[in-house]
Amino acid sequence: MPRKSVIKVASVPAVQNDAEASAAMAQMGNIQRTLADLDLQFDRMVADAQASREARAAPLRDQLLALAHSVAAYAEANRRALTANGRKSVVLPDGSVFGWRFTPPKVTVAKAGEVIAWLKARRLKRFIRIKEEVNKEAILAEPDFWGTIPGVSVSRREEFYIRPLALESDILVRSRKASA
């Protein structure tokens, strides 16, 4: 997705005619293309660095997983002895710990519509959540209501933009709040 650039302009001479505006915009297009090329080069460098890191990390991850499986196999084979006296974890001489624990409970709902109907039929509404929220898209679709709903305001900005020839991204020069 093209980036929007915000330009803060110091004191610069204004173009005087269409030809100067056209030349300035052509120069802007060239600068934008150069910036896009720099971004592309940077993205390629990042991708290469990530690929290099992944190539070096993959064998280490495999080794880590193999060692974890090895410890887990030992633990399962010796669980009774390791968990004597009601213990659930084992502290090794170096301070490392392994053990068994329960994860927090997790609810999984298959066919939510059927579950909701079943709960409603049994008057178990405490297990049903109803979510209400303001439909912002509907408000935007009806401008006649913008100023009539207490607590709701709609704002927009007026922007001056420049789009050099054959480029997809705008350069945002200035923005100011406009009344709705």
Name the helix (H) or strand (E) containing 38. helix 18-77
CB 98 within 8 A of CB 74: no
- Residues near 155 by Cβ (< 8 Å), separated by ≥ 6? 177, 178, 180
Parse the chain into domains and list their residue ranges: 1-95+156-180
pLDDT tens per residue, the chain (180 residues)?
Answer: 455 666 665 677 888 999 999 999 899 889 989 999 999 999 999 999 999 999 999 999 999 889 989 988 998 899 899 888 888 888 888 888 888 888 888 888 999 999 999 999 999 999 999 998 999 999 899 888 888 888 888 888 888 777 776 656 655 555 555 555
Residue 98 has a CB neighbour count (10 Å cut-off) of 14
